[in-house]
Chain A
Amino acid sequence: MAGIITHKSARIIAGGLRRFFGGAKWHGVEWYLAALGAVIILAVLIVILFAPSLAPYDPLEFVGKPFMKPGSEGFLMGTDNLGRDVLSRVIHGSKVVMLIAFTATVFSAVVGIPLGLISGYFGGKLDMVLNLFMNAIYSFPGLILAIAMAAVLGPGVLNISIAIAVIYVPTYFRVVRGHVLSVKEELYVEAAKTLGASDFTIIARYVFPNVIASIAVIFSLNIADAILTEAGLSFLGLGIAPPSPDWGLDLSKGKVFLPRGYWWLVTYPGIMISLVALGFTLLGEGLSEILNPRLKE
C-alpha cells in the first residue's frame, strides 16, 4: 500500500514540476516573470494575514529609544523618531496599503467594465459622450485628480479608495469598449442576433469572455499603480491619518530626518512599496504575454 501512495504522490509532484518548468518552454521567459510576481504577492498576503504574529512589537507603541540603528537589540530595522519599531510598522503598513489598492481597483473595474460594455455595444450618442468624457479624464494626470479628490473628501480608507478609483475607470472603459467594438462585427454575433438572442445574452456570452483575459492583466497592473498612487497620496500628506502605519506616511515623516543621515526610516518602507508594486507588475506583464502572446520575435 505504501508503495502505491508514494508512487502516486511522486507522480503528482513530478507532474506539477513538469507543468511549472514546461510552462516556461511553452510561453517563454515571461512565464517565470508571472510566477515570480505571484510568489511575491503570495508572500505579501501571508505577511498581511499573519501581521500581528509576525511583527515583534505594536506599531503604534514607543518601544525603544528614538533613532536606534537597524540591528540593535531586537530592532531589525531600527526605530523611528518616536521610538517605534520600523519593522513592525512596515509589516502592519502592508494591510492598509493593500486594502486601499484592492478596494480602489475593484471599484474602478465595477464601474468601468459595464460602462465600456454598454458604450461599445450600443454605440450612438451615448458612446460618443462617454468616450469623450473618459478620454478627457484619461489624459489628465491621475495623481492630481486624486489629490484634488482626496483633499476634498478627507482622510480615511474609503475616501482614498474612491479618489484613486476614479483615475482608473477610463482604463477599463477604453479596453473593454475596444474589445466590444471588434467583437461586435464578428459573424457569430450577427448569427446570434438573427437567431433572436437578446442584447444582454450577446454581451454576456460572446463579448464578455473575450474581454476577461485583458481585464485580468489590467487588474493586476492597476493594483500596482494603485499601490504607488496610495503611497504618493500618503507621502503628500493626503492619505490616511497618522499614527496608523502606512508606508507612504512613514516616508514623509522620515524624510525630515534624512539630512541627518537617519536612512532606515525611509529605506525600508520604500523597499516594500517597490517590492509589492513590482510583484503585481510582474504578474500583470507575465499574464499579458501568456494570454496575448506577441508574435514570435
Chain B
Amino acid sequence: MRSILSYLIARILLTIPMLLILLTVVFVVLRVMPGDPAESILGAHAPKDQIELVRKNLGLDKPKFINLHGNPFDSQYFSYLYHLIRFDLGNSMIWSKRPVATEIKEHFPATLELTLVSITITILIGVFGGALAAHKQKTVLDYGLRIYGILIYSIPVFWLGLMLQLIFGVFMGWFPVSGRIGSGLELRTVTGLYVFDALVTGNWTGLYSSVKHLALPSITLGLSLSGIFVRLTRANMLHTLKQDFVTAARVRGLPERIVVYRHALKNAFIPILTMMGMEFALLLAGAVLTETTFSWPGMGRYLIERILYRDFNAVQGGVVFFALLVSAVSLVVDIIYAAIDPRIRY
C-alpha cells in the first residue's frame, strides 16, 4: 500500500508544474504573441484614448512577466495567476459584461452531456468492434473493421456531422439539425444535462425532444473517435489472445465466446484505459467542431463565438478552463490506471 500512496502523491504533485506550464503557454499565446488584444476588440482605427482605456482595463499596460520598477510581481503574468487561483476569470467584455466563470458554468453542462454520450458510443463501437475484429482475424469482417478504423479517422468530424445532418435531418427529416431542445419547450434543469433532467422531472415531451436533438451530434462525435479504439482494441486483443491463460481457459472447456469477450477483453482493457485518457483531448477538440456544426450551445461553441466577437476575457477564460479540465481528467485516468494495474507504480 505504501507504493500506491507515494505514487498518488507524486502524481498529484506533478499536476502542479504541468498545469502551470499549460497556463503559462495560454498566457504566452494570448498576450505575448503579436497582435494587440485591445486593437482586436475595438478595431485598429478606433480613437487612441479608447484603445488606451481598454488596455488599462485588461491590464495590458503593465509589464508582461516581471515588473522591473517597484513590486516585481506587479505584472500581467502574476496578476493573471493571482486571479486564476481565486477562480476569477474576469468579466465578459461584450453585451452584459457578466463574469466569465458564470458563463462557463452555464455552457459546460451542454458539452458534458455531449461528450459523455459520445464517449459511450465510441467505446461501444470501438471496443466491441475491435474485439470482434481480433476474434475473427483475417476474415472480411476483420479487414472491413480495420478499413473502417482508418477511414473514419480521415473523415473530418464536422463533415461527417454535415453529411449526417443532410441525410437524416434534411432528406429523411428524422432528426433536428441544431440546438439542444425544441424551441418553446420548457425544461426544469437540475444538473444541466437535459436528458437526465427531463427524465428526473418526468417531462416526457422534453425527454423526447432533447434525445432527438442529442442523437445526431453525439453519433457524429462518437463515430468519429471510434476508429482509433477499434484498431487499438484489435491490436491489444490479438496480443492478449496469445497469452497462456487464454489457452488454459479454452482447454478447460469454456465456450469461445466467454473466453474472448469476458476474459481476454478484460485484460486488454488496461492500455485502452490509457488511450481513453489521451482520447479526452481529441474528444474536446471534436466537441468544439461538433458543437459548431450543430449549433450545440456548449463550451466549444462559446469559445469560437467569443473569439469571433473578440471577447478577450471570455476567450482566455475558456482556454484556461479547458486546460484545467484536461489536467484534472489526466490525473484521474492515471490514478485509475495505477489502481487497476499493480505494475505501474512510477
A residues in contact (CB < 8 Å) with B: 29, 132-133, 135-137, 139-145, 147-149, 151-154, 224, 228, 231-232, 235-238, 248, 251, 255, 258-259, 261, 263, 266-267, 270, 273-275, 277-278, 281-282, 285, 297
Cβ contacts under 8 Å, A275 to chain B: 154
Among candidates B30, B150, B289, residue contacting A235 with C-beta atoms closer than 8 Å? B289
For the complex, is B12 an interface residue (Cβ under 8 Å from A)? no
Q: Given B29, B162, B171, which contacts A152 in the complex, CB threshold below 8 Å?
A: B29
Q: Which residue of B lies closest to A221 (CB)?
A: B153
* A132 and B17 in contact, given A144-B322, A267-B163 (Cβ under 8 angstroms): yes
Q: Is the interface of B mostly helix, strand, loop or mixed?
A: helix
Tell me, yes or no, whether B156 is within 8 Å of chain A by CB.
yes
The 8 A-B pairs at the shortest CB distance, nearest first, are namely: A270-B159, A143-B285, A278-B154, A277-B154, A136-B21, A141-B285, A141-B281, A141-B284
A237 in contact with B322 (CB, 8 Å): no
Chain A residues closer than 8 Å to B5, beta-carbon distance: none
Q: Which of B151, B165, B308, B322 contacts A141 (CB 8 A)?
A: B322
- Supposing A139-B278, A148-B29, A266-B162 touch, asked if A273 and B315 sit within 8 A by C-beta, the answer is no
Not counting A137-B25, A237-B308, a sample of 17 additional A-B residue pairs whose C-beta atoms are within 8 angstroms of each other reads A132-B21, A139-B281, A144-B303, A144-B319, A147-B307, A148-B26, A152-B30, A153-B34, A154-B35, A231-B156, A235-B158, A236-B289, A238-B307, A248-B156, A255-B162, A266-B162, A273-B156
A141 near B282 (CB under 8 angstroms)? yes
B29 in contact with A297 (CB, 8 Å): no
Chain A residues, Cβ within 8 Å of B169: 259
CA A44 – CA B308 in complex, angstroms?
Answer: 33
* B322 neighbours in A (Cβ, 8 Å): 140-141, 144
In B287-346, the 8 Å CB interface with A consists of: 288-289, 292-293, 303-304, 307-308, 315, 319, 322-323, 326-327, 330
Asked if B247 is an interface residue, CB under 8 A from chain A, the answer is no
> Nearest chain-B residue to A143 (Cβ)?
B285
Cα distance A142–B169 in the bound complex, in angstroms: 30
Contact A153 B35 (CB under 8 A): yes
Q: Can you pick out 27 interface pairs between chain A and chain B where the beta carbons lie within 8 Å of each other?
A: A137-B21, A139-B278, A139-B281, A147-B303, A148-B26, A148-B315, A148-B319, A149-B33, A152-B30, A153-B35, A224-B154, A231-B156, A236-B289, A248-B156, A255-B162, A258-B162, A259-B169, A259-B170, A261-B171, A266-B162, A266-B166, A267-B166, A270-B159, A274-B159, A275-B154, A278-B151, A281-B153
> Which DSSP category, helix, strand, loop or mixed, fits chain A's interface?
helix
CA distance in complex: A238, B288 (Å) = 13
Contact B25 A136 (CB under 8 A): yes
Measured CB to CB, the closest approach of chain B to A286, in angstroms, equals: 10
Q: Which residues of A contact B323 (CB under 8 A)?
A: 140
CB-CB under 8 A from A263, the residues of chain B are: 166, 170
> Shortest beta-carbon distance, A51 to chain B, in Å?
22
CB-CB under 8 A from A141, the residues of chain B are 281-282, 284-285, 288, 322, 326
Give the residues in chain A near B327, CB-CB below 8 Å: 139
**Assuming the A-B contacts A151-B307, A153-B35, A154-B35, are A285 and B281 also in contact, with contact meaning beta carbons closer than 8 angstroms in the complex?**
no
B177 within 8 A of A: yes
Most chain A C-beta atoms within 10 Å of own C-beta, residue among B22, B34, B158, B284: B158
Q: Does residue B238 face the partner (Cβ distance < 8 Å to A)?
A: yes
Determine if B139 is an interface residue (Cβ-Cβ < 8 Å): no
Q: Given the known A-B contacts A139-B326, A277-B154, A278-B150, are A258 and B30 also in contact in the complex, defined by CB atoms under 8 Å? A: no
Which of A142, A228, A261 has most B Cβ within 10 Å?
A228
Does B137 interact with chain A (Cβ within 8 Å)?
A: yes
CA distance A297 to B21 in the complex (A): 42
Q: Is B155 part of the binding interface, using a Cβ–Cβ cutoff of 8 Å?
A: yes
Query: Looking at the complex, which one of A143, A228, A251 makes contact with B162 (CB distance below 8 Å)?
Result: A251
A232: chain B residues within 8 A (beta carbon): 156, 158, 285, 289
Determine the residue in chain A with the shortest Cβ distance to B306.
Answer: A151
B18 within 8 A of A: yes
Whether B281 lies near A274 (C-beta < 8 A) is no
On whether the beta carbons of A236 and B281 are closer than 8 Å, the reply is: no
Q: Within the complex, which residue of B163, B284, B308 is in contact with A144, where a contact is CB–CB below 8 Å?
A: B284
Residue from B26, B153, B159, B315 within 8 A of A251 (CB atoms): B159
Contact check, A255 vs B33: say whether CB atoms are below 8 A apart: no
B307 contacts A266, C-beta separation under 8 Å: no
When the two chains form the complex, which single residue of A139, A142, A266 contacts B330, counting CB atoms closer than 8 Å? A139
**Cross-interface CB contact of B304 among A237, A259, A273, A281, cutoff 8 Å:** A237
With both chains docked as a complex, state the minimum distance between the C-beta of A265 and any C-beta of chain B, in angstroms.
10
- Please, how many angstroms separate the alpha-carbon atoms of A259 and B293 in the complex? 12
Digit string of B17-43 for contact with A (CB within 8 Å is 1, else 0)? 110011001100110011100000000
